[in-house]
Amino acid sequence: MSALGAGEPAGGSGHDAAVAAEVVMYRTAHCPYCHRAEALLKKRGVTAIDTIRVDIDPARRIEMAERTGRRTVPQIFIGNTYVGGYDDLAELDSEGGLIALLAGKTYP
Ligand SMILES: N[C@@H](CCC(=O)N[C@@H](CS)C(=O)NCC(=O)O)C(=O)O
């Protein structure tokens, strides 16, 4: 499942003009850190998150652990960059890196 439709230009419908990168978040339904991460991403202009519900799909939970080496949720990817969990996302934001990654730039 993709937040961007096939052939849809980055920054097209579903994204703020400043948000070019696809955002992927592994999460569960009842997870305070996931809600915080979603709120921060929305605050920074993200309108579409490719959400992977590991609580209803055990295979995706295994995939998450293999991709990240972690078992907690959320686990967040922006474009080709693995960000980490909510704490990592908030730290990245405080450094200015979140806006950069969302704009499709590399960081640092
Ligand atoms: N420091 C982590 C904490 C994440 C966390 O503790 N998530 C909880 C759900 S809100 C979790 O996955 N708990 C299950 C576990 O620890 O195995 C972050 O900022 O993402």
Could you tell me the domains of the chain?
23-102 (3.40.30.10)
Tokens 């579409």 sit on residue? 48
Say if residue 59's pLDDT is above 90.
yes
Which residue CA neighbors atom 9 of ligand 1 most closely? 31
Global pTM reads 0.87
Say if residue 74's pLDDT is above 90.
yes
What is the average pLDDT score of the chain? 89
Q: How far is the CA of 33 from the centre of ligand 1 (A)?
A: 7
> Does residue 90 sit in helix, strand or coil?
helix
Which residue CA neighbors atom 10 of ligand 1 most closely? 31
Q: Are 73 and 27 in contact (CB under 8 A)?
A: yes
Tokens 């997870």 sit on residue? 31
Atom of ligand 1 nearest to the CA of 28: 9
Atom of ligand 1 nearest to the CA of 73: 12
- Residue with the bigger pLDDT between 81 and 3: it is 81
Residue 59 structure tokens: 């295979």
Atom of ligand 1 nearest to the CA of 88: 19
Q: What integer pLDDT is reported at residue 16 of this predicted model?
A: 59
